[in-house]
Structure 1
Amino acid sequence: MGRVAAMGRPPQVWDYWRPIGSGGGSGIVELGTVRGLDVALPVHFHREDQLTFVLAGRRRFVIAGDLREAGPGEGVHIPAGTPHRSLCGADEVVCINLYTPPGLYAAPEAIAGLAGHWRRTGGLGWPDLTRIAEDHRRPIGTGVEPASAFTGCDAWDSVGDAARRAGMSREGYSRRFRKHHGVPPHAFGLQERLNEARLLLRAGESIAAVAADTGFTDQSHLGRCFRRAFGVTPGRYRAG
């Protein structure tokens, strides 16, 4: 995360990394590293649990309508499927995000383990992250899957189709959906498509194929939406 920016451009704020092969036996899906001032992202959610651990500055999130903050040596757990957005602060932020299968790790204990190691050694490497996470893996069968925000319809349906299936007006369906899930149905549908794109890119599919498979007009359309939600282009994400 200490790389120098090329040609005088500002450093990349967001990067995503994935373990090669088995990742040392870890269940971690991927690691995100964040460094910069402009760390704000709009409302989105992940299919994985997110564990954010701050090394410098302060990370600020609005999670299900509540403001959460974490400073150096502190962390935040965002459960899978939970709408959230991140805010900018006054100082540069340096932090890591661990993305893990829903409920696989005991998040508060894992964050405490990361904090203890960081205080003792002043650093965190990939072996440290995987070891500490595995120290807090829950027994098989105790994890939880995120509930789908759609009931009785396809998440990629139009709002009108979903409302008809639910026997409601479009306006009534949208109001109830937003009240229950924190985001309007069209925003949820877009985010589901982006999360599917994220999964396909991790599997190595071409950007053009991913755009077609997830219902985007073309690569440019996918790229604009993807970067806005996750801070990086699909190409940079795929290369992680």
Structure 2
Amino acid sequence: MTPLPFPATPGARAHQVWDYRRPAGGGIVELGTVRGLDVALPVHFHREDQLTFVLAGRRRFVIAGEMCEAGPGEGVHIPADLPHRSLRGAEEVVCVNLYTPPGLHAASDLIAGLARHWRRTGGLGWADLTRIAEEHRHSLGTGLEPASLFTGCDAWDSVGEAARRAGMSREGYSRRFRKEHGVPPHAFRLQDRLNEARGLLRAGEPIAAVAADTGFTDQSHLGRCFRRAFGVTPGRYRAG
């Protein structure tokens, strides 16, 4: 079994909490490995389903206003496009995040499969993750990305225009949007652009071009926003 690439000692890479890999197989878009104490991230979302499986410590999330925790041998499923944030705990966390196309896997069964393997063997390897994911893949799943919560690209350019299309005032539209999605429209739009950048970086596009294509002022602007949302720089993420 090839183990996951966690550092041997807690302090070995304390400055780098997140790493990302793109395995072949299992329908997995990418894997994120997390080890550290300060694993807090602000409100963000992914275009993929996120399945977090904890190996050590406790992972804590706020999802739709509710606290959700998972300890060793437990997991959390966060559906695609659902804003959430993660919190720092009192002890070091070791976990793996699987990012999969929306609805392609039976999330609870996949997490249960990971738990059974972890209890039986005491560990997880890359091959284990892809094999277990493949075992719980829906045979008829399309893996298509969910539709945008806005009705057309123009609505992203102006909250006022989106409000007019909805027949609401700007203030009323913003209040309703925040109540339904947990973040105001402009913050959701920023996260959507960051997810677009994430996909382009996975495809190997140059960082400067990605910044321009996704509406950021420059490469540095993209870098600041990207690291805040996902815990790594665009360059490190692209290299994954």
- TM-score by length of structure 1 reads 0.92
Deviation digits for residues 120-168 of structure 1 (CA, Å, limit 9, x no counterpart): 1111111100110111111214767534221355453121222223232
Question: Per the alignment, in what secondary structure is the counterpart of residue 157 of structure 2?
Answer: coil
- Mean Cα deviation higher: 117-126 or 158-167: 158-167
Which residue of structure 1 lines up, in the alignment, with residue 129 of structure 2? Answer: 129
Give SS of 2:114's match. helix
Q: Deviations over 1:206-240 (max 9, x none)?
A: 00000000000000100000000000000000000
Query: What 5-or-longer segments of structure 1 have no aligned partner?
Result: none
Cα separation, 2, equivalents of 1:226 and 1:18: 18
- Report the CA distance between 1:172 and its aligned residue: 1.1
Cα deviation per residue 1:108-131 (whole Å; 9 max; x = unaligned)?
000000000011111111110011
Structure 1 residues 92 and 222 mapped into 2: Cα distance closer, same or farther (>3 Å)?
Answer: same
2:19 alignment partner in structure 1: 15
Question: Hey, what does 2:211 align to over in structure 1?
Answer: 211
8 Å CA contact 1:153, 1:165 repeated in 2: no
* Residue 50 of structure 1 pairs with residue 50 of structure 2: yes
Give the stretch that moved more between structures: 211-220 or 174-183: 174-183
Q: Letter of the aligned partner of 2:151 in structure 1?
A: T
SS of the residue 1:131 aligns to: helix
CA distance in structure 1 between the partners assigned to 2:156 and 2:136 by the alignment: 35
SS at match of 2:46: coil
Give the aligned partner of residue 226 of structure 1: 226
Aligned-pair CA distance for 1:177? 1.0
Q: Spell out, residue by residue over 1:12-40, the C-alpha distance to the aligned partner (whole angstroms, 9 max, x if none).
A: 10111112xxx1x3210000000000000
Q: What amino acid sits opposite 2:41 in the alignment?
A: L
CA change 1:90–1:185 in 2 (3 A) is same
**Greater relative CO, 1 or 2 (CA 8 Å, sep 6+):** 2
Q: Provide the aligned C-alpha RMSD in A.
A: 1.9
Shift in CA distance, 161/114, structure 1 to aligned 2, threshold 3 Å: same
Q: What is the aligned partner in structure 2 of residue 90 from structure 1? A: 90
Kindly indicate whether residue 144 of structure 2 is the aligned counterpart of residue 158 of structure 1: no
Amino acid at match of 1:13: V
Counterpart for residue 41 of structure 2: 41
Identity %: 84
Change (3 A) 1:147 1:63: farther
Q: Structure 1 residues 158-167 or 148-157, which shifts more? A: 148-157
Counterpart of 2:95 in structure 1: which amino acid? C
Give the Cα separation in 2 of the matches to 1:122 and 1:78: 25
Q: Which aligned runs of 4 or more in structure 1 are off by greater than 6 angstroms? A: none
Alignment gaps of 5+ in structure 2: none
Partner amino acid, structure 1, of 2:114: L
